[in-house]
Amino acid sequence: DAGITQSPRHKVTETGTPVTLRCHQTENHRYMYWYRQDPGHGLRLIHYSYGVKDTDKGEVSDGYSVSRSKTEDFLLTLESATSSQTSVYFCAISRTSDTQYFGPGTRLTVL
Amino acid sequence: TQLLEQSPQFLSIQEGENLTVYCNSSSVFSSLQWYRQEPGEGPVLLVTVVTGGEVKKLKRLTFQFGDARKDSSLHITAAQPGDTGLYLCAGARSSNTGKLIFGQGTTLQVKP
């Protein structure tokens, strides 16, 4: 299994508070991705990174920002959490091709 | 706009039955992956197909990539309760960024 960890694994927060989710990899893979998974929608790409300090938006990026200051860490920030951001968030990594390896996920509840 | 349509979305069968899950698109993909996800865990890669017409087998699972690289299928022979889970197909439009487009998923339940 690819070495990917996500923290925290579960979080409950209130509307309007900032939240940061962390993805850490030990595989030295170039590409990293943040997805959200919701019933009926499958996995939707929020943001992705193709190298340190190189990031780009995915299909559902509104309300989210990311940072990648080191190869191994990719942070997802909700500046002001809303109830619509209640979801399960997955991080994924990829070396050079299309194949992605996923972390265990973070379940976020915004009250 | 859902570029990858999976069908069926839900499937409940008895142990020993065969089944096929379809993943269809009007777009051409450079490659297509199939993942399996269990509750509370992240998706796990089953297979990647890259060549039109390619067939790959993984024990009782057979994966096929369409000749035009627009569709794919997953066939399970003699399903077992351990096959229960969410099956996801994902297509890559370009190999430059590794970005994938996921289907909605097929929830499979195999009853003993």
Q: What is the pLDDT of residues B20-29, one digit of tens each?
A: 999 999 999 9
Q: B98 to chain A: nearest residue by CA?
A: A98
Other Cβ atoms closer than 10 A to A84? 11
Q: What is the pLDDT of residue B1?
A: 52
Mean pLDDT (whole number) for A11-27: 97
**Contact with chain A for residue B88, Cβ under 8 A:** yes
Span B85-91, average pLDDT:
95
For residue B88, the SS3 value is: strand
- Mean pLDDT (chain B) is 92
Q: Does A25 touch chain B if contact means CB atoms closer than 8 Å?
A: no
Contact B92, B29 (CB under 8 A): yes
Nearest Cα neighbor of A104 from A95, A94, A92 is A92
The verdict on a CB contact (< 8 Å) between B98 and A58 is no
pLDDT band at B96 (very low <50, low <70, confident <90, very high): low
The pLDDT-based confidence of B92 (bands split at 50, 70, 90) is confident
The answer to whether the beta carbons of residues B102 and B34 sit under 8 Å apart is: no
Of B109, B112, B99, the C-alpha closest to B4 is B99
Residue A98 clears pLDDT 80, i.e. is over it: no
Q: Which pLDDT belongs to residue B23?
A: 96
pLDDT per residue over A74-93, tens digit each? 999 999 999 999 999 999 99
pLDDT for residue A110:
97
User: Does residue B109 surpass a pLDDT of 80?
Assistant: yes
Q: What are phi and psi of B61, to 5 degrees?
A: -105, 130
Q: Which residue has the higher pLDDT, A60 or B97?
A: A60
| Chain-chain contact of B99 with A45 (C-beta, under 8 angstroms) | yes
* B100 → closest Cβ in A100, A103, A104: A100
Across all residues in chain A, what is the average pLDDT?
93
Tokens at A109, concatenated: 């509840």
Q: Does residue A33 surpass a pLDDT of 90? A: yes
Q: Per the CB < 8 Å rule, is A42 touching B102? A: yes
Give CA separation, A57 vs A2, A39, A49, in Å: 24, 22, 9
